């Protein structure tokens, strides 16, 4: 994806703790683990970012992720939404996501406001 988009970061996931992250990839909804070792050729394109959420927001995020986990077969990866986002054409399909739409929707549904120029605390690896 990096070679196609020429963007520094091409994937995003949301975590409930330091080790477990959730996202959508080509195979669908995925549970990912924090990598203890980052391959050398990925190091310039890999970061963990942290945001502050209150307890209510955290619980809403957790609830939505667990709801998707329980109904995983009802959700799909959306290459159409991805292409639309790449072309700056918003396309939304129920229960279909790609990684950044998923994370943005989970945060938005929890009442967290993502600002385009907001600075997030990132740990560049």
Strand partners, 122: 49
Name the more confident of 18 and 97: 97
pLDDT for 125 equals 41
As for how many domains the chain has, the answer is 1
Contact between residue 51 and residue 61 where contact means Cβ atoms under 8 Å apart: no
Query: d(Cα 36, Cα 60) in Å, to the nearest integer?
Result: 28
Report how far apart the first and last C-alpha atoms of the chain are (Å, whole number): 19
pTM: 0.77
Beta strands 76-77 and 96-97, pairing class: parallel
Counted residue by residue, the chain has a size of 125
pLDDT for 11 equals 73
Of 19-23, 78-82, 111-115, the least confident? 111-115
Domain hosting 19: range is: 2-124
Of 23-27, 35-39, 67-71, 96-100, the least confident? 35-39
Query: d(Cα 20, Cα 34) in Å, to the nearest integer?
Result: 6
pLDDT tens for 29-88 read 888 877 655 555 555 556 677 788 899 999 999 999 999 999 999 999 888 888 888 788
């Amino acid at each position: 994806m990096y070679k196609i988009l020429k963007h520094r970061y091409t994937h995003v996931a949301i975590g409930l703790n330091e080790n477990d992250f959730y996202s959508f990839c080509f195979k669908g909804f995925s549970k990912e683990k924090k990598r203890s070792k980052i391959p050398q050729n990925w190091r310039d394109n890999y970061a963990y970012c942290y945001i502050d959420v209150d307890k209510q927001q955290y619980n809403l995020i957790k609830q939505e992720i667990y709801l998707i986990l329980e109904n995983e077969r009802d959700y799909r990866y959306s290459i159409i939404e991805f292409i639309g986002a790449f072309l700056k054409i918003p396309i939304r399909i129920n229960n279909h996501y790609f990684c950044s739409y998923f994370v943005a929707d989970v945060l938005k549904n929890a009442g967290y406001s993502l600002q385009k120029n907001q600075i997030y605390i990132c740990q560049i690896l």
